[in-house]
Chain A
């Protein structure tokens, strides 16, 4: 399967702990996006990368959130000092520059903060 993959699929953590999620995009895609989706809402944009450069960050991305894409391939999203409000589905998508940004989504990582 050459689609977007995300790990882990589920993460349960205690408030105050740090968590890290990984996203592996479709191999030839140079753009990678992170979104957050809460129950009953559409996904909200967090940040995106073109190759290894982080080009845009949402104001939703507080100082506790950091994303990296060190070699322009996989990406990680880290949340430090988790809060109950961070509980959500975290979605990753990738696209190929020049294809009108058709984004292909992974299955998501569901985070539950107790």
Chain B
């Protein structure tokens, strides 16, 4: 069994300040973990993925995430928010032993204030 909990349904930051979107997971297997972004009326876009290599993963648009097995967390960060970062963000877990059923979190809406 696997599950994903995104700890904040909404996060609001000012432009130029750091972003932190929190994600905890549970999985019976060694998981692969992903962050996707969804802009209004657009498809889901892959930001980054963790696949049991380096625990600090760098993605597109300056985002990165750190896999912490002891804390079962995979939080998404960005040093400086940009207005274009405003979107819905989803944390996703897939069991590494059986690529197939991915479980999505409920999403975090990021608002960036000017």
Contacts and interface: CB of A to CB of B under 8 A. Distances in A.
A68 B69 CA distance: 38
A2 interface: no
Interface in B61-87: none
A51 interface: no
Interface residues of A, number: 27
Contact of B34 (A41, A44, A55, A102): A102
Chain B interface residue count: which class? 20 to 34
B102 A103 contact: yes
Contact of A102 (B49, B90, B105): B49
Nearest to B109: A40
A21 interface: no
Interface of A: 4, 31, 33, 35, 40-45, 48, 55-56, 58, 91, 93, 95, 97, 100-108
Interface of B: 4, 32, 34, 36, 42-46, 49, 51, 90, 94, 96, 99-107
14 contacts: A4-B43, A31-B99, A33-B100, A35-B104, A40-B107, A43-B44, A43-B90, A56-B101, A91-B44, A100-B32, A100-B49, A102-B34, A105-B44, A107-B43
The 3 closest A-B pairs by CB, nearest first: A42-B104, A101-B99, A105-B44
